[in-house]
Structure 1
Amino acid sequence: MRQRPTALFALDGGNLPRLFPEDVLSSLVGLVDIDPALTVSDFDDAAVRPRLADTEILVTGWGCPLITPRVLDALPRLHTILHTGGTVKKLLATEVWDRGIAVSSAAAANALPVAEYTLGMILLSGKDVFTAREEYRATGSPTGHVRRHDIGNVGRRVGIVGASRIGRRVIELLRPFDFDVVLHDPYVDAAEAEALGVRAVALDELLASSAIVSIHAPATPETRHLLDATRLALLPDGAVLINTARGSLVDTEALVKELATGRIRAVLDVTEPEPLPADSPLFTMPHVFLTPHIAGSLGNELRRLGLTALREVERLLAGRPLAHRLERAELDRTA
């Protein structure tokens, strides 16, 4: 009988039962030698150090300590890191790839609820639901809203900024509806955009012509404040800006000034800074729908992240390539 590979959880122990509910954990334990009672929060912990020398697979997640060259030195048999979260940019030293260690991420699984949240917000924004709610509360009558001719989702242009996993999933989810979808992504040419079922346009054109703009680009030095005061001013009157990516992509000060005019609206699940200070005007502005970074996996959606890691283990043991392997070259253009 083949010996099971030795694995180790390196993540916040409080998340373990959410990521690996009983049936998923049982399946994992049946495939690898892993102790569900041991979750690493410090690789220097005396209770952890003896386990490191034999560890071949690290199952990481939120709360995992940084994996530095010194940590790698203590993991001489490590060949695979299975991350149950999305980004690994701040978690893994580049030496991980230098040493030939395979890295897999659950980013594709985590993209699904973000895209679903975005779709919901696009549909609601097209009907201007948030304004209607406030007007109904204030007047007790829906008459003003239902007589408006500038709302509805037929033919409305939606601009997608970034053909990331999430951006592509949003495009897919929008297909059954009567939207006109355009895309800006510097890494996607016209032919690839056409294959996605959208039209590639320059960023300024997208901003100036879209009724709803949804941001799905990665946070990199190049994309910091991608939407600054000049670009925010391009948005048409009544436009809605949706950000479920990273707060740093939008200049918060410039956005607050633009929102204060009442000219545009915003749906923000991420902000800069995050969390916002208690006195941020974004909390009380009438044209802002603000949520506390909840678009990603929550509740029973976390199970899907654990299942992603389990499926990768199954592929490893079957001698098949990882389905969600992350190469170092991708880091510069991923979140």
Structure 2
Amino acid sequence: MSNSGALRPRVLVAIPPRFRERLFTQSAWQHLLALADVTVSPADGVLDTPLAHERLRDADIVLTGWGTYAQSGAWVEHAPELRAIVHAAGTVRFLVDESVFARGIAVSSQAEQNGRPVAEYSLAMILLSAKTVFRAEREYRAARTGFPIDSLTGGAFGARVGIVGASKIGRRLLDLLRPFDFDVRVYDPYLDADDAARLGATKVELDELFATCDVVSLHAPHLPETEGMIGAAQLRRMRDGAVFINTARGVLVDQDALVAELQTGRIDAVLDVTEPDVLPVESPLWDLPNVVLTPHLAGSVGNEVPRLGTEAIGEVARLAAGEPLRYPLTAQQFAITA
């Protein structure tokens, strides 16, 4: 894969048709065909089968995405010529392990692009929450005879917003928050005070963030050490009328503790993710009036999806030209990110 143009990369596309059609526009797909010798196999996107192993033998690049599946990173052993894995979606944790980086295989992920709409969704919910829109809407609807606007105590000016996790999404959200008159606090064990200041925030510990913020938005990665990181101790510290927003993963939160706190009516929540992702019909979260529940839609949906495919094909173009990846994932990043 030099920049001489003499060799075209051999790309194995392991994305099932139903996802491939959503990810790649016709023009993007034609761009890929012009760049490389493309094989689309296996049709079901499973990489650890005899057919997949046969196709992997000659691949320079494997293009993966939604619907690609592997039981472990062992499938890479069947790809002796593999130079890069280009993932047209977010996390690659279900596809690769540390051995990929040890072999020097480049990895590209669209986690950053998939995170753009998550940060935008979070910004919208923070603005509405700081304005106490959700609580006022409930009270207005219940009253039906008018609403005393002067009784509202919230407002965006000077509201304290807490961001849990200076991840790629967390950092993008921090940037989006800059034009607004918020007092922004951030918790991240890998962030120091100077880094936080450069991001436009004040670094605080987790318990302080929950105790002092009007809105808390969760953006930590799903790792073994982050499961259940938000529990009863943090939720009890939240101010009356505060709002908890989760667009990360439901498993990061002790859901029983969250339900118990919400049932008091003391706090509100905006939950785009839960544990499990689709709640059982008997879950109290369906009926609690102080919960805004959305079906894991903060990430790329609708016309946002082709952006992932177009950017992934851009990575293939860079590899074909011998240029650096725009969205590389390093071994160090893999260790601490989702």
TM-score (norm: length of structure 1): 0.94
SS of 1:320's partner is coil
Asked whether the 8 Å contact 2:222–2:337 carries over to 1, the reply is yes
CA distance in 2, matches of 1:114, 1:192: 22
Asked whether the 8 Å contact 1:9–1:39 carries over to 2, the reply is no
Report the equivalent of 1:217.
220
CA distance in 1, matches of 2:199, 2:330: 23
- Which deviates the most, 124-133 or 239-248? 124-133
Alignment of 1:152-171 (within 5 A): 152-171=155-174
1:32 pairs with 2:39: no
Report the equivalent of 1:254.
257
1:52 pairs with 2:85: no
Report the equivalent of 1:147.
150
**Paired amino acid for 2:114:** N
SS of 2:323's partner is coil
CA distance in 2, matches of 1:170, 1:16: 29
Asked whether the 8 Å contact 2:41–2:52 carries over to 1, the reply is no
Report the equivalent of 2:134.
130
1:201 pairs with 2:212: no
Q: CA deviation at 1:110?
A: 0.6
Report the equivalent of 1:237.
240
Asked whether the 8 Å contact 1:60–1:83 carries over to 2, the reply is yes
CA distance in 1, matches of 2:53, 2:202: 53
Q: From 9, 15, 21, give the equivalent of 2:19.
A: 15
Q: CA deviation at 1:99?
A: 1.9
1:83 pairs with 2:84: no
Asked whether the 8 Å contact 1:211–1:236 carries over to 2, the reply is yes
Q: CA deviation at 1:98?
A: 2.3
**Paired amino acid for 1:293:** H
**Paired amino acid for 1:107:** A
CA distance in 2, matches of 1:44, 1:234: 47
Q: From 156, 160, 182, give the equivalent of 2:185.
A: 182
CA distance in 1, matches of 2:71, 2:83: 13
Asked whether the 8 Å contact 1:184–1:200 carries over to 2, the reply is yes
Q: Percent identity?
A: 49
CA distance in 2, matches of 1:69, 1:151: 49
**Paired amino acid for 1:328:** A
Q: CA deviation at 1:68?
A: 4.0
Deviations 1:99-152 (A, max 9, x none): 2211110001011000000001011111222223333333324423x2223121
1:284 pairs with 2:287: yes
Report the equivalent of 1:4.
8
Asked whether the 8 Å contact 1:269–1:294 carries over to 2, the reply is yes
Asked whether the 8 Å contact 2:227–2:253 carries over to 1, the reply is yes
Asked whether the 8 Å contact 1:243–1:267 carries over to 2, the reply is yes
Asked whether the 8 Å contact 2:53–2:79 carries over to 1, the reply is no
1:105 pairs with 2:109: yes
**Count of aligned positions:** 334
Report the equivalent of 1:271.
274
Change (3 A) 1:70 1:231: closer
Change (3 A) 1:121 1:313: same
Q: CA deviation at 1:54?
A: 1.3
TM-score (norm: length of structure 2): 0.93
CA distance in 2, matches of 1:73, 1:210: 49
Change (3 A) 1:4 1:280: same
CA RMSD of aligned residues (A): 1.8
Deviations 1:203-258 (A, max 9, x none): 11111110000011112222221111111111111100001011111110001110
SS of 1:147's partner is helix
SS of 1:136's partner is helix
CA distance in 2, matches of 1:246, 1:44: 27
CA distance in 1, matches of 2:231, 2:264: 16
